[in-house]
Structure 1
Amino acid sequence: MTEAELYSVYKDVYVPTHLHPPECLKYYEDFTFRPDDILIVTFPKSGTTWMQEVVPLILSEGDLTPVLTVPNWDRVPWLEEHRAISSIWSRDLLHVSFATHFHHSMMNESYFKMKPRVLYVLRDPKDVFTSSYYYYGMASYLVNPGTQDEFMEKFLDGKIMFGSWFDHVKSWINAEEKESILYIFYEEMIDDLKGSVEKIAKFLGKSLSPDVTEKIADHCVFKNMKQNKMSNFSLVPEEYMDQKKSEFLRKGIAGDWKNLFTKAQEQRFNAVYKEKMKDVMFKFMWD
Structure 2
Amino acid sequence: MTEAELYTVYKGVFLPSHLHPAESLKYYEDFTFRSDDILIVTYPKSGTTWMQEIVPLIVSERDFTPVMTVPNWDRAPWLEEHRAITLNLEQRPSPRIFATHYHCQMMNESYFKVKPRVLYVMRNPKDVFTSSFPYYEMASFLVNPGTQDEFMEKFLDGKVMFGSWFDHVKGWLNAEEHILYVFYEEMIADLKGSLEKIAQYLGKSLSPDLIEKIADHCVFKNMKQNKMSNYSLVPEEFMNQTKSEFMRKGIAGDWKNHFTEAQEQRFNSVYKDKTKDVKFKFVWD
TM-score above 0.5, yes or no: yes
What are the equivalent positions in structure 2 for 1:90-239 lying under 5 Å apart?
91-93=91-93, 96-177=96-177, 179=178, 181-239=179-237
Cα distance between partner residues in 2 of 1:194 and 1:216: 8
Q: Distance in 1 between matches of 2:89 and 2:137?
A: 31
- Unaligned runs of 5+ residues in structure 2 are none
Runs of 4 or more off by more than 4 Å in structure 1?
Answer: none
* 185-194 vs 79-88, which moves further: 79-88
1:17 aligns with 2:28: no
Supply the distance in 1 between the matched residues of 2:157 and 2:91 (Cα, whole angstroms).
Answer: 38
2:217 and 2:94 map into 1 onto residues whose CA distance is 19
Deviations, residues 211-251 of structure 1 (Å, cap 9, x unaligned): 11110011000100000000000000000000000000000
Report the Cα distance in structure 2 between the residues aligned to 1:148 and 1:254, rounded to whole angstroms.
19
Give, in angstroms, the shift of residue 281 of structure 1. 0.5
Q: Which moved more, 1:250-259 or 1:80-89?
A: 80-89
1: CA distance between counterparts of 2:66 and 2:194? 20
Task: Report the counterpart of residue 62 of structure 2 in structure 1.
Answer: 62
Q: Match of 2:237, as an amino acid?
A: E
Q: Share of identical aligned residues, percent?
A: 79
Structure 1 spans left out of the alignment, 5+ residues: none
Q: Do the aligned partners of 1:40 and 1:118 also contact (CA within 8 Å) in 2?
A: yes
CA distance in 2, matches of 1:94, 1:146: 44
Q: In the aligned structure 2, how far is the partner of 1:111 from the partner of 1:73?
A: 21
- Deviation at 1:176? 1.1
Find the aligned partners of 1:222 and 1:51 in 2 and give their Cα distance.
Answer: 12
Q: Give the whole-Å Cα distance in 2 for the aligned partners of 1:206 and 1:183.
A: 17
CA RMSD of aligned residues (A): 1.0
TM-score, normalised via structure 2 length:
0.98
Residue in 2 that maps onto 1:258: 256
Specify the SS of the correspondent of 2:138: coil
Query: Does the 8 Å CA contact 1:35/1:117 hold for their aligned counterparts?
Result: yes
